[in-house]
Structure formats: C-alpha cells, structure tokens
Amino acid sequence: MTSNRNKSRSLVLRLWRHQESRAVIIQILTMIAIFALIALIAQNVVVNLAAVGKEFSFGFLLWPAAYDITFSPFIEYTNQSTHLRAAAVGALNTLLVALLGIIAASILGFTLGILRLSRNWLVSRIVYVFIEFVRNVPILIHILAIYSMIVVLLPPAKKSYGLPDGIFFLSNRGFYVPSPIFEAGASIVGIIFVLAVISAIIFRQWAKRVQNQTGRIYPVFWISVAIVVGATGIAFLATGMPLSWDIPALKGFNFKGGMALKPEFLALWLALSYYTACFIAEIVRAGILAVNSGQTEAAHAIGLRHNRTLQLVVIPQALRVIVPPLCSQYLNLTKNSSLAIAIGYMDITATIGGISLMQTGKEMETMLIVMGFYLVISLIISAFMNWFNRRIKLTER
C-alpha cells in the first residue's frame, strides 16, 4: 500500500517538474476555477432573482415594444413591433455608425497624420493645434456640441437649404436625399456586380503573379474598373434600367419621401469620426517617422517625387507599425458609439439596453444581450485587423 502511494506521488512530482506538463496542469486548474466562479455567479443570480419574484428568461423579446424609433433605414419598425425587432434596429444602427465612422476616421486620420509632417509650417501648426484640442476634450462634449450646432444653426424644414435641382435638402430635421427603388431585374444587376468584383480580384491576383514571374506590369486599377463598371453597366441597360428614385418633397412641416439622415446620426458620426481621426493621425505620424530616412533618400535618388515616395515606399513600410494600434482605435470608436443615447440616437444601448430594460424590468437579460453584441463586434474587428496585420508583415526568405 505504501509502495503504491509512493509511486503515485513520484508520478505527480515528475509531471509537475516537466515544463510542458506543468503548463497543461496549470491551464486545466485555471479553467476549472473560472468555470466554478461562473457557476457560482449564475447560481447567485438565480437565487437573487427568485427572491424578488423574477425569473431569468428571454421571452420578453417577443412582447410588443410600444415605443417609436425615428431612424430605421434597413428594416421596417413600428411601435407594435417586438423588443427583438427593436434590438435588431438598434444593432443595425450601431453597425451603421461604427462602419461609416471607421471609414471616415481612417481617411481623415491618414490625411491629418501626413499633413502633420508637412514641410509647410502653417499647415503643420494648424493640424497640430486641431489634433491637440480635439484629443484633450471628452468625446461626449464633441457629440453634444455638434448636435447643438446642427439643431440650432441649421434652418427649419420650410427654410431648408435646397441643393442642386431641389433633390437634396439640409435642415435641422436632417439631411434628406433621394432613396433608390429597386424594380424587377435589379437582383440580376446585383449578381453581375458581385461576379464582376470577384473577377477583378482574381485578375489582380493573376497580374501580381505574372509581375513576380516575368516583371510585366498590367494597369490593374483601370482594367478592374473597366470590368466592374462595364459588366454592371451592360447588365443595367440590358435589364431595362431597373432603378428609380424616390425624391423627398416638403409637405406640411416636414419632408416626405426619400431617405433622411437624422441630426442625431449626423452628429454622432461626425464627432466619432474626427475625434478618432485625431488619434489615428498621431499613429500615422509615428509610423511614418519609424521608417528609416535612408528609404526616402534612396527613393529620391532614383527620381521618385515626394508624393510617389510616400505612396510607394514610406506608407507600405509604415503600415507595419500603424496597423496594431489602429485596431484599438477602431474598437474604441465602436464602443464610444454607445454614447449615442445622450442625443437620442437609437442604437443597441438606447433600445434593448435602455427603453426595453425600463419597460420589462429584465436588467440581467438586456445587459447580457448588449454585452454579447459588443463582444462579438469587437472580436470580429480584432480578427480582421489581425488577419490584415499578418498579410502586410515582413516575410523572411
């Protein structure tokens, strides 16, 4: 009996002293502790909910929401819709402002970062002052300031600014633009467009492979544009131009028809974009300065102009420094969009995490939905940026 106990103790000691075995054991024990903690918290939640007469259930998602959402550009919604549909509208509104904000912030951030290094002293100083001012003022103040300017400074609907031919209208009710109406045959045009984009991507990869093997260079950009525009245009004409436009028109005290970009959306999008762009600008500046100056001198020595040197030599190398912190800024922009509730923009936080929570009293369930949504979106952004970072990293030969 004593011999068996000694053998078991000896086996445990050998496993613990082996580095790889010890690492596996520690990970197993850690996961057991984490799951035990989660189970303890879940049990505590169930007991506390039962004590106040509540049950943990997501059945409330099928109840009528009984509140209005003024901005729902993707799916139909009325106050008789369910909380589930309200959550879907809020999620889509969050994704819309996050996606457009990331695009605008990237373009503006790269532009400001390059101008920050301009040889023109005045341009460099102006950009520097703008970046420092924006970065040192809380994002919520920017959102409220932009929203106030839109509501106060822009005229009412009856005196709105009519842009070319009375098609676009700008007022304190929002920016009204024509909305497309897809008719029979539009789906065919859409399929042709997708196939044309795929063909252009395949051609680009083929052209790159030919260049690596033979040195022959094809005008990839213009050929890709010709493929996409030409194929889509031919399909559009062949199907009888299955597209018309719903033009907004002033009726009474507001506009009817078309598509409206509400002041809340415009304020949130603009504020998030230029606020995040100022942080991206500093990342871009640091990335450019990280590239050895000898690279620029070598490019100038072979006759490349300054803008072409920046485009072909400096930026591709700077991206390896820029991309990792850029991911954090995209995540910050997405999560900062939850401040939309301050100006009444109906995102996921304002719908399911705000009004639905107060109407149903399902604090735990609604917060789990909101947290899960932001977790999934953050993981998707991180996964994409990690993939892109691997694509542009240096490949050792």
CATH for 344: 1.10.3720.10
Residue 59 included in any domain = no
Question: What is the residue whose two structure tokens read 């040197």?
Answer: 309
Same structural domain for residues 6 and 144?
no
| Continuous segment of H or E residues that includes residue 174 | strand 174-177
**19 and 96 assigned to the same domain:** no
Question: CB within 8 A of 182, min separation 6: which ones?
Answer: 242, 243
- On whether both 325 and 272 belong to a single domain, the answer is yes
Task: Tell me the chain's radius of gyration from C-alpha atoms.
Answer: 28
Q: List b or e across 217-232, with b for residues whose CB sees 16 or more CB atoms inside 10 angstroms.
A: eeebeeebeebbeebb
In this structure, is residue 234 part of a structural domain? no
As given in the structure block, the two tokens for residue 185 are 């045959």
| Alpha-carbon span 148 to 146, nearest angstrom | 5
Q: Is residue 223 part of a domain?
A: no
Residue 220 lies in a domain: no
Q: Is residue 216 part of a domain?
A: no
Sign of torsion, CA 93 94 95 100? Answer: positive
Q: Return the closest-CA partner of residue 351 out of 99, 88, 76, 58.
A: 88
Task: Please check the confidence at residue 396 and state whether its pLDDT lies above 80.
Answer: no
- The domain of 310 spans 83-158+263-392
152-160 contact pairs (CB < 8 A, 24+): 157/250, 157/253, 157/254, 157/255, 158/250, 158/253, 160/250, 160/255
Measured in residues, the chain has a length of 397
Question: Which among 10, 31, 51 is the end of a domain?
Answer: 51
Burial of 247 (0-12, 13-18, 19+ CB in 10 A): middle
Q: How many C-beta atoms surround the C-beta of residue 377 within 10 A?
A: 19
Asked if 90 and 21 sit in the same domain, the reply is no
> In DSSP terms, which residues pair with 254 in a beta bridge?
251
- pLDDT one-digit tens code per residue, 280-290: 999 999 988 88
Give the Cα separation of 59 and 390 in Å (integer). 43
How is residue 198 written in tokens?
Answer: 């795929």
Pair 388, 277 in one domain: yes
As a whole number, mean pLDDT of residues 333-338 equals 92
Distance separating alpha carbons of residues 232 and 223, to the nearest angstrom: 14
Of the pLDDT bands very low, low, confident and very high (cuts 50, 70, 90), residue 126 is: very high
Q: Is residue 184 part of a domain?
A: no
Domain assignment of residue 211, yes or no: no
Same domain, 347 and 293: yes
Which pLDDT belongs to residue 8?
63
Q: In terms of domains, do 108 and 40 share one?
A: no
Sorting pLDDT into bands at 50, 70 and 90, what band is 4?
low
**Residues 194-223: what's their mean pLDDT?**
86
- Residue 138 confidence (pLDDT): 93
Pair (283, 365) in one structural domain: yes
Percentage of residues of the chain with pLDDT beyond 70: 94
**Residue 303 has which token pair?**
């006759």
Q: Is residue 178 part of a domain?
A: no
Contact criterion met (CB below 8 Å) for 31 and 37: no
User: What is the model's pLDDT at position 155?
Assistant: 84
Number of domains in the chain: 2
Tell me the C-alpha distance between 320 and 331, whole Å.
19
Q: Are both 93 and 44 inside the same structural domain? A: no
The confidence score (pLDDT) of residue 241 equals 83
Mean pLDDT of 352-381: 90
* pLDDT surpassing 60 at residue 397: no
Identify the DSSP state of 333.
H
| Torsion over CA: 284, 286, 289, 291 (sign) | negative
Place of tokens 């904000």: 101
CA 11 to the chain's CA centroid: 52
Are residues 298 and 385 part of one domain? yes
Encode pLDDT of 169-203 as tens digits.
Answer: 888 888 888 888 888 878 888 899 999 999 999 98
Q: Based on the domain organization, do 150 and 100 belong to the same domain?
A: yes
pLDDT by residue (tens digit) across 69-86?
Answer: 888 888 888 888 899 999
Instruction: Supply the pLDDT for residue 280.
Output: 94
Residue in 198, 188, 206 with CA at minimum distance from that of residue 227: 198
- What tokens were used for 356? 């639905």
What is the per-residue pLDDT across 290-310, written as a single tens digit (0 to 9) for each?
888 788 778 878 877 877 787
Give first-to-last CA distance, the chain, whole Å. Answer: 60
Co-location of 116 and 8 in the same domain: no
